[in-house]
Structure 1
């Protein structure tokens, strides 16, 4: 019986770097006993990460030997010496063929083992793009999956250049309206303030300015799931014309329903005052027109305004407020100063 080749020679055999004589020695050894193929398989498994196995060479040689033996052919190697006229018994043939088959099985299993050990390669971290808009500016971005994001002024959007095979995650500070391309295998997740909104395909608005007391998610069509990031409780599901507001101070979620047009009107260039105080309206004007608004009269800051202005100039909006509040205003180098006025 051929003696065990040893680890060094086995390693060279698997790498395809041994001489022809050494190959023949190992092949005779493999043919003698199926357990030798198991020994080779175990050795390869222990050293899989370091062994670039020449699989095609080994499989080709083994298959050639099987073909030669089953067809009664001869080979120049000692195992198939033309001067060796011995006929194999059924048992011997099965043992020899079994050893060859074991080698093929070993090759296939080792290939899978190497893949599982080494993995499919390093996982590429997504490359994120960040877009920030100043006051007075809005923009629309198309993401790699075809989804569209309408970003409001003074807002920041962070999203990957290319979405991977998992969840489509993006991050928002400020306000944006999303038109999400449907993909049941890759949920669309928006991280904004204390909330995470998850959808498959829908259109919705997220408002999460850091300086605001509230974070809001409103659904135009489709369905979304909203939950607090630090809570294990079941998500709150929203359907069309529903919105949820998270109070940062109270740590509470409140669901409401109604016409959400006033919530999403900004993306169509409409400035919507719906039960907005003068103080709130002034903040909206600052963000919308990119200028500083000062209300000198504290008494009118709590006055409530109604109305909508589509693609109007700042001066036209101020004229409407002047009529409603009987106030005065003037433009300065720093912005606008509002004086006088009273609630009606």
Structure 2
């Protein structure tokens, strides 16, 4: 099996208890042929057991009641699969590199520390070196207990605004599923949600170096006032001037959209309001909106959007279903 993402997708499905017989046989063969892959499987299991057992239960939630399915004439609606999330976790753990693998494998007492901003909240964190991080809703930051030893390494899933304390002797590295950011002292926003197709870094001050799975094989350096956007599917990395104050807005609790698709907005609303949103039509997913909705509650906001581009929305328990 040459596709590395497929390997870690299988590991993720194994941890989630989703492997079928054919996948189990394929994973077993891969583990028998590659001792390094076995070690990485152990690293992922350690990481998983420490931080993500609660996420697993969400895969058993139902999207719609049987009654709602009959009313809407829907034969079958698949349950939300958490495999995409788990695959991202698998990839980013491996992406952190051999150093973390060695530490976890050699020193079983090595501890990891996790900071979490749950859905519906943001959180301010001060790391042991004095670095300040604002975590957006639905985000997680993981560090090792000996964070300030030789190299300052963190793992980010979600979005964080970093004000990195300067230390020329100890580089600061942020690892996401497909991108690594290296800095000494700087201020920037990094958005890397597992359920989104893009990773975006916006630099306010200083300089950052970008390495990762993109078509430009050489490291890329970002200057203040610019944004780097990585498409995780194509590997294309785009560098463009950036004037929007999106990070400042979410840090202040504001909710502002700039030509966002409804699909993008739905993910933001899920994290902001702890909601579950389903959009049934591909056309509706691509509707675009701009505006400041900071003072609107969830249903007011959906009402405003549906008035601008007609769509319907209704609730079923904790779920909101949007259709044309």
The reply on whether 1:278 has 2:262 as its aligned counterpart is yes
SS at match of 1:234: coil
Correspondence for 1:187: 171
| Structure 2 segments unaligned to the other structure (5+ residues) | 1-106
Deviation at 1:255, TM superposition (A): 0.9
Correspondence for 2:241: 257
- Larger relative contact order, structure 1 or 2 (CA cutoff 8 Å, min sep 6): 2
Counterparts in 2 of 1:57-76, with a 5 A limit?
Answer: none
Q: 2:158 aligns with which of 170, 174, 177?
A: 174
The reply on whether 1:144 has 2:128 as its aligned counterpart is yes
How far apart are the structure 1 equivalents of 2:317 and 2:159?
A: 28
Q: 1:334 aligns with which of 299, 313, 318?
A: 318
Work out the number of aligned pairs and report it.
Answer: 219
8 Å CA contact retained: 2:161, 2:247: no
Correspondence for 2:303: 319
SS at match of 2:293: strand
CA RMSD across the alignment: 2.7
The reply on whether 1:204 has 2:220 as its aligned counterpart is no
How far apart are the structure 1 equivalents of 2:216 and 2:148?
A: 26
How far apart are the structure 2 equivalents of 1:136 and 1:330?
A: 21
Deviation at 1:165, TM superposition (A): 4.0
How far apart are the structure 2 equivalents of 1:321 and 1:231?
A: 37
How far apart are the structure 1 equivalents of 2:215 and 2:108?
A: 30
Correspondence for 1:218: 202
Find the structure with the greater CA-based Rg.
1
Deviation at 1:183, TM superposition (A): 1.7
How far apart are the structure 2 equivalents of 1:154 and 1:165?
A: 29
Deviation at 1:240, TM superposition (A): 1.5
The reply on whether 1:134 has 2:130 as its aligned counterpart is no
Deviation at 1:227, TM superposition (A): 1.2
1:46-102: CA deviations, max 9, x gaps?
Answer: xxxxxxxxxxxxxxxxxxxxxxxxxxxxxxxxxxxxxxxxxxxxxxxxxxxxxxxxx
8 Å CA contact retained: 2:284, 2:323: no
How far apart are the structure 1 equivalents of 2:185 and 2:141?
A: 19
Deviation at 1:202, TM superposition (A): 1.2
1:117-156: CA deviations, max 9, x gaps?
Answer: xxxxxx9986320133432222111101111111122222
* Cα distance, 1:262–1:164 mapped onto 2, change above 3 Å: closer
How far apart are the structure 2 equivalents of 1:284 and 1:223?
A: 28
8 Å CA contact retained: 1:241, 1:259: yes
SS at match of 1:316: helix
SS at match of 1:182: coil
8 Å CA contact retained: 1:218, 1:260: no
Deviation at 1:314, TM superposition (A): 1.2
8 Å CA contact retained: 1:189, 1:196: yes
- TM score, norm. by length of structure 2: 0.61
How far apart are the structure 1 equivalents of 2:255 and 2:121?
A: 13
Deviation at 1:225, TM superposition (A): 1.0
| Structure 1 segments unaligned to the other structure (5+ residues) | 1-122
Counterparts in 2 of 1:16-165, with a 5 A limit?
Answer: 127-165=111-149
Deviates more, 1:268-277 or 1:141-150: 268-277
